[in-house]
Structure 1
């Protein structure tokens, strides 16, 4: 009898997390994945994707296969943390929610409020943590003091304005020299709230950074000041920075910490932008984004779980 009880207990302990589709928003037009731990949830979190066509798992048609959000959710489930990772409005499972190119931050705010409410009910928690990766950090910061939010986790999130970051990236690549002046002039126009013509612009810029279809959103995005948003946060906040992040460098984590000195800050020296360890050299670092089997940075899930369960 005792052996049977021990075996039953072992089987329960080894039970896998429970995954299911979850929908929220008007007419249930928003889609995400709810991952519940096998036992009672100790906390719950909404994981907000970064920029562009990044899906709920953290993958992107442009060649990103790291599945960072799925791996983080699975690691957190093992520690008793429930998560909902979401598709942004107009994309993937949330395609029916609207045109992604005309999305506004006000709509993202509304969507996140819907996800917080749905996640709170699905997990049985009184409040929900919002974790924003990269550009998603701006959405998380804007929701920091909303009803039902416990606090904020910023994962490789910007601390500088987007304009500052883009200028640094453009200037860092010598190949951009022939069109650097025109690119920076176009950026200045967008920062001033004016759309720009892409006639005669280098195709790489005209089709991506200054694509007319997304200039409206770019204007709004450029107006966001993450440090100012961080200063206003009154709830608990964890800032997670990677030392080998070639997209959101150390200056961003430093800026966020300066803006919110009460926040907890953790630096993972070898972590890249996709939340796994990567080499310091830019090209080699970016190549790891396509490596689906590369593991999550060691200790990341432990640190996040400890923070959201109270061991700050």
Structure 2
């Protein structure tokens, strides 16, 4: 380990299991003191009785690191604000926020209940916005006080947010929204020393191991486990460190040993009449432009 995060304090949401746990352990291994947040709920967001956040804290401490547990609901104002308070009270500072918490309620759109839509939007999108807002308020106050931070935020989108995923309309919409939030936050917050980037990871977690069972299966003995969540964490650690200075407003797809910079929406073929089109003319122009454009990547779950 290089100690790339030595002296830094990181908050990781949804860090009791899966990707969040891997991120928390990796940050601690590189010298960060970690606030491990997890509400302790099931895959669908229903309450559970165990305490996964404290178990990860115990793992970090057993390895010689420093960590504290936070069991608040980060999709509430009080819960999100207390993330910052916990970091300051336990370790005296906050440098990195990794927004990772989420769960699934998958249905085809015609079968998707309003409550399932709202619940997924709440944990993924609101659960990104509120911690980001409260951390940014703290860092802005630091900057205005003459103590410009080297603050880092890593948000968690998904291939579903980039391309869509059949049976996951709520999740796909929330994850696409996170990308929009990331881009705006990076543009607004740079003046305060805050960098904001997104990852779109593919890894074996509670949310993927059954839905994509064949893809997520572990290899035989001795093979590279490409879907292990620990493969995603090195980039998260780097983005959360001072070493990533100058990198902001970017989206990275991360899977196994592969890192890809996602380039998003860019203008493709264009036609300009210089005057108003008729519907027939607009349709003809659109068909010509589509013929000259690149074929979109398919939505996940289609052939």
Asked if TM exceeds 0.5, the reply is no
TM-score of the superposition, structure 1-length normalised? 0.41
Q: TM-score, normalised by structure 2?
A: 0.42
